[in-house]
Chain A
């Protein structure tokens, strides 16, 4: 039962263009969403987050959009740079669950083509 889904295992984007990574969730109790970036041989590192009271959060080249009615969020990276090549995990948590557990998607491998 995958509560957080990333349906694209991989994505290739030309340098300078926009990268859009998508994530869908099924649990309506989720109220906090995060994107993590993971390089090989390293742990996931936090990239950007959004609370369910917002529909957009922007941090430099990274913007996360949340559509609660569709239970969908997306990460936009613009312009894409070679250093953005990594695996991106979408994660969600339910603040009232009593466990700060993050439920992760399966990840999308982003490759930026120079």
Chain B
């Protein structure tokens, strides 16, 4: 079954304690991306990756890091989480070029609370 998995699904942490949210896809997609969803703001892109070892900033990259050492994995790293990073996070993947028959597949989401 084609899928994007994220772990953990729920996380409560404290300010400043480093954390990593993992993302893995089994569709051999080149493109992977992280979004955050906040009330009244929709989904906003944090970082994206066009392929292994190729990453770039999205619209809201501050306070986040990513890495793409393998094609299937794209972890999101919060080195020093702050309360304004409390959000719902989604990982997504797709073939490199979105065409009329392609789409991005989303993971189930990770709900993060930073105290």
- Interface residues of chain A, those whose CB is within 8 Å of chain B, are 2, 4, 32, 34, 36, 41-46, 49-51, 89, 91, 93, 95, 99-107
B48 and A100: CB pair below 8 A? Answer: yes
Residues from chain A with a CB closer than 8 A to the CB of B104 are: 46, 100, 102
Pairs across A and B, CB under 8 Å, 30 listed: A2-B42, A4-B42, A41-B109, A42-B108, A43-B90, A43-B106, A43-B107, A43-B109, A46-B104, A49-B100, A89-B42, A91-B43, A95-B98, A100-B48, A100-B94, A100-B96, A100-B97, A100-B98, A100-B104, A101-B33, A101-B45, A101-B48, A102-B45, A102-B92, A102-B104, A103-B45, A104-B43, A104-B44, A106-B41, A107-B42
Q: How large is the interface on B (under 10, 10 to 19, 20 to 34, 35 or more residues)?
A: 20 to 34
- Interface residues of chain B, those whose CB is within 8 Å of chain A, are 4, 31, 33, 35, 40-45, 48, 50, 56, 58-59, 90, 92, 94, 96-98, 100, 103-109
